[in-house]
Structure 1
Amino acid sequence: MNKKNIRWIVIGCMTLFLIPNAFYYFNFNGELSKSPKHWGQYGDFIGGSINPVLTIANIIALIYLTYTVSHLEDKRSIEHMNVQKKIIINQMRHNALLDLLKAVDHYTNLIETTPNKYAVVSTVNNPFDPFEQNTYHLFRDANTDSFKKEYLEKLQSSIYKLKNIGMGEDNIRIKIEADNYRTFQQNFIQALNQYIIKELSPTN
């Protein structure tokens, strides 16, 4: 509670006390009685005047407190739901990255271990195609132009070079392009993994 609210509460309490006293003072000519009976009547008058107002004030305060507590609980519930949503989405991102890693490892292992490397690069599906089509939207920052230019375009260019190596090309060139491809895909996956870690931080 700030100082301004406290000041208004004090002013209200003083006003609440002074008004019935002012009525009593002017009605009975401001005389102070020596009779206990009169003082008892004075107390009954003050109590009868102030108590209904205090009762109403207590009801208003109770309603206000109930609303405040309910609002805080709703806010906590929303925050809890947002945290759960973030956890679920990041789990989906993590699973998508794991699937991509498995597909990439399988693809690059085929290139490196199969004697006829041309057959691999020309016929095996690029593992990034289903990832880009189905789960890339989960990575919001990865959809920016700067991210695509830094990672995705280099990766796609490397894949294109691998795919377009001719039948007569030697395995050395295929090996070089495969190494470039592996480097670009590692950079790409590492960047996505860093994005997941950043999204899990308390400040986001």
Structure 2
Amino acid sequence: MLLEKRLAAEYRKQLRNERISMFFRKAGMTIYEKCSWMRFGPVFLAVSLFLIFFVAFVLWLKISINVDFPFLKFTNVKQLEYMGQIGDFFGGVLNPLLSFMALIAVLFTIKMQSKELKEAKEETRIANRIQDKQTAVFERQNFESVLFRLLDVHSRLAERIRTPNKLGDGDRFKSLVDNVLDLVNENDSVLKLQHSNFDNIDSWFERKAQQERLNAEGLGKLIEAVRLVINQEHKILLSQYFRNMYQILKLIDNFKLEVYEEGSEKGKKSKRQLRMEYFQRRQYCNILRAQISDDELKVLYFNCLMHTGYGLKYYVEKYSLLKHMDQNDFLQVSWEWSAMYLKTAYADYELITDFQIKEFQKARSSSSFIHIFPHHSHQ
């Protein structure tokens, strides 16, 4: 029985000690939570103000009421003067040191703030760049969706023109080309006679002038033949075909492409940026060019010579849509028919110079003012 009572007493004592310990731990946690909102700055300021007022209060009691405090009892005035000199000495030494330390702390704070501000600006710049890239991706997706729909329409229009309503008529594009070439060859006999007389001209300038007049006359006869053939039976169908092609090229040319280059000024594009943008647009035009047959290229050549095809001719020359046309097996005439287009209409991408790309960019920029200063109608 005694052993049981002793064990019970020890258990109750241990339980009481644990409860007391738990109480103090909870009290400490409560006080810590209540005071956790306080920071070093407010606490330091409060302690400093308390010490200042406490010292001022003690000095006031000592000087005004002459109250003595333990360890602060002065027996004579000389001792006070001596302690004042010691205080002035320590104050004169410590004040510059503390001021210098405060200045160092301020400079360190400014440096840290500058670093944080620089990092914040860099993060903002990266975030803006990511957002711009995401926006560019969405815009490109929408652009390609519209582009491929127009390309599908172009394929269906070309197939409708190519497939005749009557059996035995053959490819309508080929028949149009043959009709135009027949008319041109009939009218070229007189021009060939004029060209044969060039050998009797000794002056290079006169021969060049004669060749230019011959080219102009041959171009006039070619345009007349094209007008007779294309603007007759198949005018409506071909007009729809070329208007759709014009809208495809216009969509590609007006699509906003931004090639970023580190160090470039905002609003100004370098030669490299202009070439990269031109290359990307040309890639889309290559998709359209790959769907155009040889006879379609020849009909396209004819159409852009007329007044209504000037708008489409700009894109044909800019993006080299006549690149795959066989120049040796086309017009067998005495005048220079290939000179009716710029050389870029037949050139590979590698042969396009930066100057030519810049000139096309200038022409594109000035085209927005055509409605103010009209010169001729476009496609």
TM range (shorter): 0.3 to 0.5
Greater RCO (CA < 8 Å, at least 6 residues apart): 1
TM-score, structure 2 length as denominator?
0.25
TM-score, structure 1 length as denominator?
0.43
Structure with higher helix content: 1
